Structure 1
Amino acid sequence: MKKRFRAVLLSLGLLFLLAQPAFAAELGEPNITPQTKMEEIRSNPSIVGAGIYTYSLDQDRALDRLYWDAQPLSRLSNHWTAQDAADGLNYLIRTYNAGQQVTFPLYTAEEIAQDTSRDGVELYYMPTENAQPNQKYVLVIGGNAIVVSAEIREGISTAWNLHEMGYPVFVLRYRIGIKATNNAPLEDVARAVQYITEHAEQFGVRAQDYAILSYSSGGQISGLFGTDAVGYKNYGLPKPGAMLLGYPVNTFLEFEPLYNVLLDTGVCQQRYYKMTLSDYITPDYPPTYHWCGKNDLTLMSMCWWAQGPVLEKALVRNGVAHIYHVYDNAPHAVGAGKGTDAEGWLTEAAAFWEEQVG
């Protein structure tokens, strides 16, 4: 009887060992560096299995893929953010390999059937190493330039920095380009907060006191979400504990007609790109940390003085608790700002947020 039992155990053990290579082949290695080619990253079994989007809208076409697949991560990202992006992607791979879900679609199949532009709107979740219940979370929203999105460059790279500071982080992939009609990006921000709020216990986070950290045009969209007039109250959601805005767009100014023609032809109703954020600031606006650089060529092309400086005046005028920095050397799309005058802003912003929510 004992011999038979041992034989069964040996057989099971042999089957287990034989199964290991097949199982291991389904998982990718967390070995991404800034020099790793995008084709290798995109074919990593864990990146594929986790459902992490590694393109940008302008690169997600057949001919463009041939070019971008041959480029290193540092090219898709940039030299300021590439190492953090690599570290963030590696952590997401390890998280997926440990059996945790990383990607969370925000719209149901029925909702996508009603509006196909909702397909691909999702959250990438970066949990803490030793998750504790009731943690404060950060929702990170990258910028876009109609056809360029920054889920990796600004999203995952920033999420990694915040993860290292001990926060659970969500990165939002929202609708841009021709999909950004009818206030879709604003709807996506609201849906992200709604989803996290409804699943707060599952994620081990608290529904209140969260921070929204966003960049560039993502700052304008999320900034509007923080307002009384068109933001969180209209969706029945908790008020953000703080808005942390890196080189945010305050107004699209001369770009409004172009956006209207491209996105909402013939539509006269109010749209997010027609709204100047500073016009919607009230005394009840969430505490705000915002900054920009004097050598930000993107904001210069949009009239630099109409952006951060005007937003700052509105915050002062309404008595909103805030911090504002203007750096001499902080170009656009630098994310955490490493290697620029803005380096360290995330630490200061997190301390500001903590002070505001207690």
Structure 2
Amino acid sequence: MGRKACMTMMMAAIVTGLCACTEKTEITTDMNGSGATDNDNFQIRMTKSVPAQYFSEATEQGQVVRIEYDSRDYTCDNHPATRKPAYVYLPYGYDESRSYDVIYLMHGWTGRAEDTFETLGGAQKNILDWMIQQGDCRPVIVVSPTWDKDNRAKDWGESCEEIAVFYNGYENDLIPAVESRFSTYAETTDRAGIVASRDHRAFGGFSLGSVTTWYIFEHCFDLQRFFLPMSGDSWHVTTFGGQTAPEQTAQFLASVVQASPYGTDNGFHVWHAVGTQDARFYQTHNQAMACLQLTDVFTPHNFSYHQREGGQHDYNSVVKFVYNTLPFFFPDEEQQSFTRTSRISDVMNDPAFGDCGRLIFPVDEGYWSGETLEQLRLVWYNYIDPEKTVEICNYLKAHTGSAFLDIYTETEKQADPQKRNTGLFFFRGSPGAPFSVCNAGGAFAYVGAMHDSFPHALELSKLGYNAFALIYRPDNAYEDLARAITYIYDHADELGVSASGYSLWGGSAGARMAAVLGNAGYLRQLTGRKDIPQAAAVIMQYTGYNTVSQQDAATYACVGTNDGIASWRTMQRRLQSLSALGIPTEFHAYDGLPHGFGLGTGTVAEGWIADAVRFWKAQIDN
């Protein structure tokens, strides 16, 4: 995948990943700008950040209970009896009269059964609580077992022996013990009952737990529909075979699929994940890329490969992978009601949105096209992400009671009906955190929010910041932004946001809006107020705005070098002029990108929003 080309005075250091235990060998694959392989059907997908608030305690908390069950030491020929522990997360409001999905999560080498819920100060439990409370996924039971016969850390050799035979205890002992005691979809816990309920079961693991997951895939493929191997490969062909013998390993895994009646597009899904700085990167990466080449077996419907940018070989990556995976494995249908094939007209007319549904997409219909969410196209914009479009629509529906705010009164709207085409969509972060106002572009002809402001606001909310996406009148854009800032400032306590340290974001025309209202003089002029503080930072994407003033705010800017609308050199010269005035700036130009790349997902610009947030935070801290 491409890396950012920062047009700064200093060259960024290139950090290469480390490979543990074996010689580094990487499969090379031709990649295009979106991260797709040369068959153009697959994509290396980057994970989303966990919202900052999810690491704190939720209002609705589940509980973790410890159980013990009878098992055997399957490394010995006579299988001596043993008794093993497992830790079971039960969601808030657990009710034995209903059935729950279940996922088994295996620790790594030297780990114990309790690690899943004790590591990182209990972060995994907090995240699960928040996900279920927010409707990110269905209420789910999470089981943390161990392969160790006595739940003690073993040396490498003994642990490798135990993971290779754990599948016996998983089928014969663990599933029956858990699913006869707690309410899952298994009506019986013999093999027939377990297989019959496989659509509601998943198995995953980290490091040696990931290798264990591949043994489960090999020996117990029919017992669950979903697999979550994190930072590890299959060792059927040879130890570290995913790295050193990826093609043979992928062929073997394909044979497992082909031998099963459930080896169809909808019969299973492997969600394979690794951090880009993980010491086990190539064990995971090489195997995943080899699997992606077997397009007759591993399709986009049953196999996906995910990377966490900067992720290392630790539990920080684990909790983030679990956060990204559960909504896919076990979506909350009541909350996640829209899909890629949902009709745009159905979203706009959904009763949950009331009158604001029509504002989710451009009011000026001549600037967009497509019948379904995955077919959405916006004039002048590239890289529209259907998955992000679906996520945004579902988020807005799930938070419909608080997501839309009128910035004009009914009297004002009666006097000027065009003001009915305005408002703020609120993507809530942590209580009391600073806010941002995101302004989409559209050449002051329309508002391209679905690609150029909604995604930014959603990602900022996940980082704990309160974010507002402004729907404005193209002919009165500056007036509407001034009103939005005034509205948020005057209702800060009611909205639960900090009235100071805010930022203004925008792309193209929206970037001009942010720059103008970020100027202290224009802010006073357009709001008619002297008490509203200047923005701490302005975050701009791809615009040719070149006015410079001593009263301008600290400014971060990014643009593509192949932008035919906004020259990167024009943007760079403006920031150099601001810097000469002593105003903090940061500038990035991304090689080859055209106009309107948005979040830049799957491009050389991916991750720019994290840079921008760091810049904003630095201005607040100063």
* Range into which the TM-score falls when normalised by the shorter chain: 0.7 to 0.9
Q: 2:612 aligns with which of 331, 349, 357?
A: 349
Aligned to 2:579: 316
| Inter-CA distance 294–345: structure 2 relative to 1 (3 Å threshold) | same
Aligned to 1:15: none
CA contact under 8 A between 1:28 and 1:47: conserved in structure 2?
A: no
CA contact under 8 A between 2:500 and 2:533: conserved in structure 1?
A: yes
Unaligned runs of 5+ in 2: 1-332
Aligned to 1:118: 419
- In the alignment, the residues of structure 2 paired with residue 84 and residue 232 of structure 1 have an alpha-carbon distance, to the nearest angstrom, of 36
Aligned to 1:90: 394
Q: 1:291 aligns with which of 546, 558, 570?
A: 558
Aligned to 1:279: 547
> Once the 2 structures are TM-superposed, how far is the Cα of residue 356 of structure 1 from its aligned partner?
1.1
> Once the 2 structures are TM-superposed, how far is the Cα of residue 54 of structure 1 from its aligned partner?
3.0
- In the alignment, the residues of structure 2 paired with residue 213 and residue 280 of structure 1 have an alpha-carbon distance, to the nearest angstrom, of 18
Aligned to 1:189: 481
Aligned to 1:136: 434
SS of match in other structure, 1:350 = helix
- In the alignment, the residues of structure 1 paired with residue 581 and residue 448 of structure 2 have an alpha-carbon distance, to the nearest angstrom, of 32
- In the alignment, the residues of structure 2 paired with residue 209 and residue 109 of structure 1 have an alpha-carbon distance, to the nearest angstrom, of 30
> Once the 2 structures are TM-superposed, how far is the Cα of residue 71 of structure 1 from its aligned partner?
4.0
Per-residue deviation, residues 39-60 of structure 1 (Å, max 9, x unmatched): 2322333234654613324317
| Inter-CA distance 146–288: structure 2 relative to 1 (3 Å threshold) | closer
| Inter-CA distance 238–34: structure 2 relative to 1 (3 Å threshold) | farther
Determine whether 1:216 maps to 2:508. Answer: yes
- In the alignment, the residues of structure 2 paired with residue 320 and residue 74 of structure 1 have an alpha-carbon distance, to the nearest angstrom, of 42
- In the alignment, the residues of structure 1 paired with residue 414 and residue 353 of structure 2 have an alpha-carbon distance, to the nearest angstrom, of 26
Runs of at least 4 residues of structure 1 off by over 6 A? none
Q: Give matches, 1:114-263, under 5 Å.
A: 114-128=415-429, 131-132=430-431, 134-176=432-474, 180=475, 184-232=476-524, 235=527, 236=529, 237-250=532-545
SS of match in other structure, 1:297 = coil
Per-residue deviation, residues 106-154 of structure 1 (Å, max 9, x unmatched): 11122223333322211011113xx42x211111100012433212121
Equivalent position amino acid for 1:247 in 2 = Y
- In the alignment, the residues of structure 2 paired with residue 117 and residue 50 of structure 1 have an alpha-carbon distance, to the nearest angstrom, of 14
CA contact under 8 A between 1:47 and 1:93: conserved in structure 2?
A: yes
- In the alignment, the residues of structure 2 paired with residue 305 and residue 351 of structure 1 have an alpha-carbon distance, to the nearest angstrom, of 22
Per-residue deviation, residues 272-330 of structure 1 (Å, max 9, x unmatched): xxxxxx33421x4221110111111232xxxx267313322321221210100111133
| Inter-CA distance 232–351: structure 2 relative to 1 (3 Å threshold) | farther
Equivalent position amino acid for 1:56 in 2 = P
> Once the 2 structures are TM-superposed, how far is the Cα of residue 92 of structure 1 from its aligned partner?
1.4
Q: Give matches, 1:323-334, under 5 Å.
A: 323-334=586-597
- In the alignment, the residues of structure 1 paired with residue 407 and residue 341 of structure 2 have an alpha-carbon distance, to the nearest angstrom, of 32
- In the alignment, the residues of structure 1 paired with residue 410 and residue 442 of structure 2 have an alpha-carbon distance, to the nearest angstrom, of 26
| Inter-CA distance 80–74: structure 2 relative to 1 (3 Å threshold) | same
Deviates more, 1:345-354 or 1:47-56: 47-56
Q: Give matches, 1:16-35, under 5 Å.
A: 29-35=335-341
* Matched residues, number: 283
Equivalent position amino acid for 2:466 in 1 = P
| Inter-CA distance 173–198: structure 2 relative to 1 (3 Å threshold) | same
- In the alignment, the residues of structure 1 paired with residue 406 and residue 341 of structure 2 have an alpha-carbon distance, to the nearest angstrom, of 30
Deviates more, 1:184-193 or 1:107-116: 107-116
- In the alignment, the residues of structure 2 paired with residue 199 and residue 231 of structure 1 have an alpha-carbon distance, to the nearest angstrom, of 18
| Inter-CA distance 115–47: structure 2 relative to 1 (3 Å threshold) | closer
CA contact under 8 A between 2:542 and 2:568: conserved in structure 1?
A: no
Task: Write 1 or 2 for the structure with the bigger share of strand.
Answer: 2
**RMSD, aligned CA:** 2.5
CA contact under 8 A between 2:438 and 2:470: conserved in structure 1?
A: yes
Deviates more, 1:211-220 or 1:221-230: 221-230
Aligned to 1:39: 345
CA contact under 8 A between 2:384 and 2:451: conserved in structure 1?
A: no
SS of match in other structure, 1:354 = helix
> Once the 2 structures are TM-superposed, how far is the Cα of residue 94 of structure 1 from its aligned partner?
1.0
| Inter-CA distance 336–238: structure 2 relative to 1 (3 Å threshold) | same
Deviates more, 1:343-352 or 1:227-236: 227-236
Deviates more, 1:69-78 or 1:201-210: 69-78
- In the alignment, the residues of structure 2 paired with residue 239 and residue 233 of structure 1 have an alpha-carbon distance, to the nearest angstrom, of 12
- In the alignment, the residues of structure 2 paired with residue 173 and residue 87 of structure 1 have an alpha-carbon distance, to the nearest angstrom, of 19
Using the aligned pairs only, state the percent identity: 24
| Inter-CA distance 295–348: structure 2 relative to 1 (3 Å threshold) | same
CA contact under 8 A between 2:370 and 2:377: conserved in structure 1?
A: no
> Once the 2 structures are TM-superposed, how far is the Cα of residue 193 of structure 1 from its aligned partner?
0.5
Task: Write 1 or 2 for the structure with the bigger share of helix.
Answer: 1
> Once the 2 structures are TM-superposed, how far is the Cα of residue 243 of structure 1 from its aligned partner?
0.5
Equivalent position amino acid for 2:419 in 1 = R
Larger-gyration structure (1/2): 2
